[in-house]
């Protein structure tokens, strides 16, 4: 959303009168203005303990961007100097996807996926760092995998701590969004842990992916990207959300439609030059929730760029993008 004082005031006033639906608005806010290196895909962003911000993304050996003020972003190379050797078991180029960045137990944790387009022979890996900055990561290997005999796809990881336990949401197409418990000491999946199902679509190819879960008030909120990414101006990505009182679900939207039946309030979709928003994550900055995502710029040949918007909440506890 553009940082005009009037627009900000109107948006704040609207929160108090919106009905209990996250998809009530007929228009969508523009991303907040940024400068510098804007190109990114599947961003995960964090406000560093040392000050400033870092973003990691699909591309390169987990592409990195840094910022001092969340406005000017600079290219910072890659998380790793070279791909760990085991990545090549999942694709010929050692190409990682969709990282997730978090801070826990005195260090930063970077989860990521390695796979090939159109297969669920996939793996989610994890690395740790004392600073969160590129070049400081130590890869810890695989945390969770899937094979062609599985009913899920081990990509698009997203971590959350709930009820004193560590969980990882993941999934793309196949049967949609899944959840598995992790060992907090190792950051890896507990052997034999139940793999819960959180969201899917009624019909193949079950086009939902890129899960992210946050806790707000009495609920857990599941955000996911629906439909097709990665096609530039022809992308149909959009961000939907639902909520549950338990981390394992069931999740439903503001109309009561289960996310296991294709439900989900529409939060952000294509508008103007901002096409196919998705690949989202959420981070906290100065006490506020911030939604990070990519969109395809319709005025720049569909180049994927970083979108940042404040994520607020209605009086009835539903997310709204400002």
Mean pLDDT of 218-222: 98
Query: Pick from 245, 246, 262, 263: which is nearest to 179 by CA?
Result: 246
Delineate the domains of the chain, giving CATH numbers in brackets: 5-321 (2.115.10.20)
DSSP 63-113: EEEEESSSSEEEEEEESSSS--GGGGGT-TT--EEEEEEEEETTEEEEEEE
Mean pLDDT of 300-305: 98
Q: 47: Cβ–Cβ under 8 A, 6 or more apart, which residues?
A: 53, 283, 284, 285, 286
pLDDT above 70: percentage of residues in the chain: 92
Q: Which helix (H) or strand (E) holds 14?
A: helix 5-15
Report pLDDT for 10. 30
pLDDT class of 303 with cuts at 50, 70, 90: very high
Q: Higher confidence at residue 13 or residue 129?
A: 129
Contact 44, 281 (CB under 8 A): yes
Task: Kindly report whether the global pTM for this prediction surpasses the value 0.75.
Answer: yes
Q: Higher confidence at residue 16 or residue 266?
A: 266
Q: What would the pLDDT profile of 147-199 be if each residue is shown by its tens digit?
A: 999 999 999 999 999 999 999 999 999 999 999 999 999 999 999 999 999 99
Query: Pick from 127, 159, 117, 155: which is nearest to 61 by CA?
Result: 127
181 belongs to the catalytic site: no
227 belongs to the catalytic site: no
Q: What would the pLDDT profile of 16-33 be if each residue is shown by its tens digit?
A: 333 344 444 458 999 999
Half-sphere exposure of 107 (CA within 13 A, CB side): 14
Q: What would the pLDDT profile of 59-80 be if each residue is shown by its tens digit?
A: 999 999 999 999 999 999 999 9
Mean pLDDT of 84-99: 96
On the question of pLDDT at 145 being above 50, the answer is yes
On the question of pLDDT at 134 being above 50, the answer is yes
Report pLDDT for 17. 31
Report pLDDT for 8. 31
Half-sphere exposure of 138 (CA within 13 A, CB side): 6
CA gap 148, 121 in Å, rounded: 6
CA gap 148, 79 in Å, rounded: 29
On the question of pLDDT at 107 being above 50, the answer is yes
Q: Which of 2-16, 113-127, 134-148 has the lowest mean pLDDT?
A: 2-16
Query: Pick from 182, 163, 144, 188: which is nearest to 244 by CA?
Result: 163
Contact 167, 182 (CB under 8 A): yes
Mean pLDDT of 122-130: 98
Query: C-alpha distances in angstroms, 121 versus 60, 87, 151, 230?
Result: 21, 12, 11, 20
Report pLDDT for 92. 93
CA gap 212, 284 in Å, rounded: 14
Report pLDDT for 23. 42
Active-site residue identified among 209, 253, 265, 297? 209
Report pLDDT for 26. 57
Active-site residue identified among 42, 95, 100, 265? 42
Report pLDDT for 15. 32
């Amino acid at each position: 959303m553009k940082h005009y004082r009037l627009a900000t005031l109107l948006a704040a006033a609207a929160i108090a009168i919106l009905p209990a639906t996250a998809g009530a608005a007929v228009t969508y806010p523009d991303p907040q203005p940024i400068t510098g290196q804007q190109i990114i895909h599947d961003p995960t962003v964090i406000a560093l303990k040392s000050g400033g911000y870092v973003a990691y993304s699909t591309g390169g050996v987990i592409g990195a961007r840094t910022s001092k003020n969340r406005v000017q972003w600079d290219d910072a190379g890659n998380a790793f100097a070279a791909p760990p050797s085991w990545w090549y078991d999942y694709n010929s180029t050692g190409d990682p996807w969709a990282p997730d960045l978090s801070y826990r137990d005195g260090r930063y944790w970077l989860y990521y996926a390695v796979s090939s387009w159109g297969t669920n022979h996939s793996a989610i890996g994890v690395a740790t760092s004392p600073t969160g900055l590129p070049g400081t990561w130590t890869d810890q290997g695989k945390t969770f995998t899937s094979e062609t005999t599985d009913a899920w796809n081990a990509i698009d990881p997203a971590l959350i701590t709930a009820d004193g336990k560590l969980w990882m949401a993941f999934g793309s197409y196949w049967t949609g969004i899944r959840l598995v418990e992790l060992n907090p000491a190792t950051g890896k999946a507990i052997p034999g842990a139940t793999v819960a199902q959180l969201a899917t679509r009624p019909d193949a190819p079950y086009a939902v992916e890129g899960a992210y879960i946050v806790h707000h008030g009495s609920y857990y909120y599941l955000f996911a990207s629906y439909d097709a990414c990665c096609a530039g101006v022809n992308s149909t990505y959009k961000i939907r959300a639902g909520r549950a009182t338990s981390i394992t679900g069931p999740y439903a939207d503001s109309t009561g439609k289960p996310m296991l039946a294709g439900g989900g309030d529409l939060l952000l979709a294509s508008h103007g030059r901002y096409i196919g928003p998705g690949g989202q994550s959420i981070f906290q900055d100065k006490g506020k929730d911030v939604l990070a995502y990519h969109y395809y710029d319709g005025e720049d040949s569909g180049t994927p760029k970083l979108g940042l918007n404040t994520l607020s909440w209605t009086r009835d506890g539903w997310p709204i993008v400002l």
